[in-house]
């Protein structure tokens, strides 16, 4: 894939500026319809989810006090994983988006909420709500695309370093919450620019460390201690629950913007972008996951990523209701509503991670028969001088074209 603007078969070429404006208008109307009908049943929904989360968490933690007993460990770990997933996705992510601010309940409000996550809510809101949701899928602007450590586009030059991309992507997925915390801190950029002495950075880093301290103390010290003789088994249960939650949220987020076929955009394309054009970018830059109601809730309704990106501050329980209207809009304007079941979307996203970890064209050109020669070429590209690499890259491009 390459940025939309450089594609030969630009998927929005058929749209006139008037079309785009009309799309914007229709979407504004759909949004207003939900805003006007927000009410008691929505409020009951989020309070129920919060209530259920707290009860599952309390129950699981109680069961884990006896975690030395294997069935208790299994039940408690499953329960705690589910609780943590609910807390991060349907509750935390969505409250921090301000989806429930309209209720004016200070206990369920984007400005007062804190979540079970390494990154402090305040910092995450900035990098997520202000940067990612504004600059969605704009290469060089939206760091959610690969979190600044991955090769996410063919046009990014390949270097041998990227061969490690699948491995570190997997490690990042396992410890996703810490990756997010580092990313919200812009740790990579700060280190690269040697700005670690900056007082503002130090203040924020301290905040993150304090938050991580509280989180680690709770899951890996206090609760294990409360379990007495079951210290170690509770510790492992909590560790596993955190990793399960991390893998799950990482998968959901990969599915949102990373599957093959989701569009990316170049920086200059968003200069002077109209409301309609902004909507259009959100429509083409997101992908949905199809599945059961339980799956939607566990993904925090980010399975409706397209709807979420169009209307990040509408209550998540309403995305399912507007999805058919959105899909119909895509169809009428000849656009691709990207949706598929979870395994397929996760597979597609990982396929892309692996494909882009290799030189352009390599994976496509490789078959069972030519595998040995392709591997030799890859070895040469990895170890050879830049001149050799360029020559071989040209060869791969020629092979792909043929």
Partner 1 sequence: MTATVPRPSPARPALRTLRDRALRWAELVTTPLLPADYLDLVHPLRAGADLRGRIEAVLPETRDAATVVIRPGADWRPHRPGQYVRIGIDVDGVRMWRAYSITSDLGRTDGCFTVTVKAIPGGKVSNHLVRRTEPGTIVQLDQATGEFCLPEQRPAKALFVTAGSGITPVMGMLRNHPELTDVVLVHSAPTADDVVFGAELRQLAAEGRIRLVEQHTDTAGVLDAAAIAELVPDLAERATWACGPVGMLEALEEHWAAAGIADRLYTERFRPTVLVTGEGGTVSFTRNGTTLEADGATPILDAAEEAGVLMPSGCRMGICYGCVLPLREGAVRDLRTGEVTTAAPGDGVLVQTCISAAAGACDIDH
Q: Which residues bind partner 1 (CB under 8 A)?
A: 38-44, 51, 54-55, 58, 98, 101-107, 109, 111-112, 114-116, 211, 214-215, 217-218, 222-223, 226
**Residues in CB range of 56: below 8 A, 6 or more apart:** 79, 82, 83, 86
* Least Å from the CB of residue 28 to partner 1: 17
Dihedrals φ, ψ of 265, to 5°?
A: -130, 155
Return the bridge partners of 341, or none: 290
* Least Å from the CB of residue 274 to partner 1: 20
Closer to partner 1 by Cβ: residue 109 or 275: 109
| CA distances, 389 to each of 21, 164, 268, 381, 399 (Å) | 46, 18, 30, 5, 15
CB 326 within 8 A of CB 284: no
Closer to partner 1 by Cβ: residue 127 or 156: 127
CB 125 within 8 A of CB 335: no
Closer to partner 1 by Cβ: residue 209 or 226: 226
Return the DSSP state at 156.
Answer: S
Nearest residue to 356 (alpha-carbon basis) of 114, 90, 162:
162
* Least Å from the CB of residue 309 to partner 1: 20
Return the bridge partners of 210, or none: none
Residue 138 to residue 136: CA distance in whole angstroms:
6
* Least Å from the CB of residue 316 to partner 1: 15
* Least Å from the CB of residue 238 to partner 1: 12
Closer to partner 1 by Cβ: residue 48 or 382: 48
Closer to partner 1 by Cβ: residue 104 or 293: 104
DSSP string for residues in 305-374: HHHHHH-TTS-GGGHHHHHHHHHHHHHHTT----EEEHHHHHHHHHHHHHHHHSPTTHHHH--TTTHHHH
Closer to partner 1 by Cβ: residue 317 or 365: 317
Nearest residue to 139 (alpha-carbon basis) of 161, 122, 156:
156
* Least Å from the CB of residue 58 to partner 1: 6
* Least Å from the CB of residue 61 to partner 1: 8
* Least Å from the CB of residue 116 to partner 1: 6
Closer to partner 1 by Cβ: residue 58 or 354: 58
* Least Å from the CB of residue 200 to partner 1: 16
Q: Between vectors from CA 263 to CA 260 and to CA 264, what angle results, nearest 5°?
A: 115
Chain CA centroid to CA 38, Å: 27
Closer to partner 1 by Cβ: residue 45 or 147: 45
* Least Å from the CB of residue 310 to partner 1: 19
**Residues in CB range of 197: below 8 A, 6 or more apart:** none
Closer to partner 1 by Cβ: residue 41 or 367: 41
| CA distances, 159 to each of 243, 358, 381, 385 (Å) | 30, 9, 9, 11
| CA distances, 242 to each of 78, 114, 245, 247, 344 (Å) | 11, 17, 5, 9, 24
Closer to partner 1 by Cβ: residue 42 or 307: 42
Residue 299 to residue 86: CA distance in whole angstroms:
8
* Least Å from the CB of residue 3 to partner 1: 30
Closer to partner 1 by Cβ: residue 89 or 287: 89
CB 118 within 8 A of CB 180: yes
């Amino acid at each position: 894939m390459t940025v939309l603007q450089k594609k030969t078969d630009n998927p929005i070429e058929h749209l006139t500026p008037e079309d785009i404006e009309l799309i914007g208008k229709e979407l504004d109307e759909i949004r207003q319809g939900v805003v006007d009908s927000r009410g008691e049943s929505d409020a009951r929904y989020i309070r129920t989810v919060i209530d259920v989360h707290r009860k599952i968490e309390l129950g699981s933690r109680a069961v884990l006090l006896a975690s030395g007993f294997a069935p208790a460990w299994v039940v408690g770990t499953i329960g705690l994983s589910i609780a943590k997933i609910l807390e991060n996705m349907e509750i935390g992510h969505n409250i921090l988006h301000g989806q429930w601010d309209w209720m004016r309940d200070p206990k369920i409000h984007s400005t007062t909420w804190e979540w079970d996550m390494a990154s402090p809510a305040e910092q995450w809101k900035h990098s997520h709500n202000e940067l990612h949701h504004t600059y969605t899928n704009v290469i060089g602007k939206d760091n959610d695309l690969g979190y600044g450590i991955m090769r996410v586009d063919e046009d990014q030059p390949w270097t041998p370093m990227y061969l490690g991309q699948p491995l570190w992507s997997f490690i990042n997925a396992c410890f996703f919450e810490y990756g997010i915390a580092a990313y919200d801190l812009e740790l990579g950029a700060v280190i690269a620019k040697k700005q670690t002495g900056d007082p503002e950075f130090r203040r924020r880093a301290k905040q993150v460390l304090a938050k991580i301290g509280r989180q680690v103390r709770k899951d890996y010290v206090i609760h294990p201690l409360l379990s007495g003789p079951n210290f170690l088994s509770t510790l492992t249960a909590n560790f596993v629950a955190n990793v399960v939650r991390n893998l799950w949220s990482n998968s959901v987020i990969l599915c949102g913007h990373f599957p093959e076929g989701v569009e990316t955009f170049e920086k200059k394309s968003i200069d002077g972008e109209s409301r309609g054009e902004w909507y259009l970018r959100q429509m083409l830059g997101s992908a949905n996951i199809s599945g059961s109601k339980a799956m939607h809730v566990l993904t925090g309704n980010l399975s409706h990523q397209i709807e979420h990106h169009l209307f990040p501050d509408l209550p998540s329980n309403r995305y399912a209701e507007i999805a058919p209207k959105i899909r119909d809009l895509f169809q009428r304007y000849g656009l691709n509503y990207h949706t598929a079941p979870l395994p397929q979307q996760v597979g597609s996203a990982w396929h892309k991670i692996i494909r882009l970890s290799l030189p352009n064209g390599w994976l496509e050109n490789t078959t069972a028969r030519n595998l040995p020669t392709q591997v030799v070429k890859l070895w040469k590209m990895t170890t050879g001088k830049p001149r050799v690499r360029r020559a071989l890259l040209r060869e791969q491009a020629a092979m792909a074209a043929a």
